[in-house]
Amino acid sequence: MNNIKIKGVIFDMDNTLFDFIEAKIAACTAIVEYIGIGEPHELLSYFRRKKYRFEDIENISDYLVEYGKYTEQVFRECCSIYEREKIRTIELYPDVKKTMIDLKSMELSIGILTDADGINARTRLKKVGLCGCYDSLFTFDMTGWKKPSLKPFMYALETMELKAYETLFVGDSLIRDIAPSKQLGMMTAHAIYGDCNPPEDNSLSGEKPDHIISNFRDVLTIIQNGNKY
């Protein structure tokens, strides 16, 4: 076992810090209730397609067209409902804020790396009360690349002035979070409590995490146990 001093922790955001899938289901439920037809998980499946980005509102447009409910007014209202309900229902996983405060008290550099754009990321982080709990936020419009590209991870490491081997990356996706961060030489922790990714996606990762955590507080345990992996 190696014993390496971890100087920084970088977290994925959605489904690692808070339950974004449940928030999206709540938003989809509100849309379905508004148009009076369909099923929330069916609408969610539109967002999971590869046709558009996971948060692209064109997914809502396609769903309305499919059910013959599309008009510009209905579409605009559904988009408004979606954004409002999604943010309203986002909740942190247990012990997230306390753990991040404890990590900062250990003089660790704390970063968040997400595929969301800056406005959406900051809105979500403000809603769950994490402003001030991290040092750096890296969003798609900052890096220009989406995970699993190595480039956003490299950008984060360079900006935070961290070496890969002295950094722990925590994320819910084996293919988008664990595989690229481990390829760069980072210690990795798979946030299995938030992993709602399709099994076929995870099976393609080709990398095994150094740690599997069942709750967020386990991150602190990894650090406190001497950073062994």
Q: How many percent of the chain have pLDDT more than 70?
A: 93
* pTM for the predicted model, two decimal places: 0.91
Number of Cβ atoms within 10 Å of the Cβ of 91: 12
The radius of gyration computed from the CA coordinates of the chain, to the nearest angstrom, equals 18
Q: What is the pLDDT of residues 72-89, one digit of tens each?
A: 999 999 999 999 999 999
* Structural domain boundaries in the chain: 8-19+91-224, 21-89
Helix (H, G, I), strand (E, B) or coil at 221: helix
Q: Pairing between strand 8-11 and 109-113? A: parallel
Q: Which of 181, 200, 24, 120 is nearest to 191 (CA)?
A: 181
Would you state the pLDDT for residue 3? Answer: 65
Would you state the pLDDT for residue 196? Answer: 84
C-beta of residue 197 within 8 angstroms of C-beta of residue 173 = yes
Would you state the pLDDT for residue 1? Answer: 41
| Average pLDDT score, the chain | 92
C-alpha 72, offset from chain centre: 31
Average pLDDT for 138-161: 96
Residue 108: pLDDT band with limits 50, 70, 90:
very high
CATH architecture of 8-19+91-224: 3-Layer(aba) Sandwich (3.40)
pLDDT at 29 over 60: yes
Q: How many percent of the chain have pLDDT more than 90?
A: 86
Instruction: Give burial (CB, 10 Å; 0-12/13-18/19+) of 72.
Output: exposed
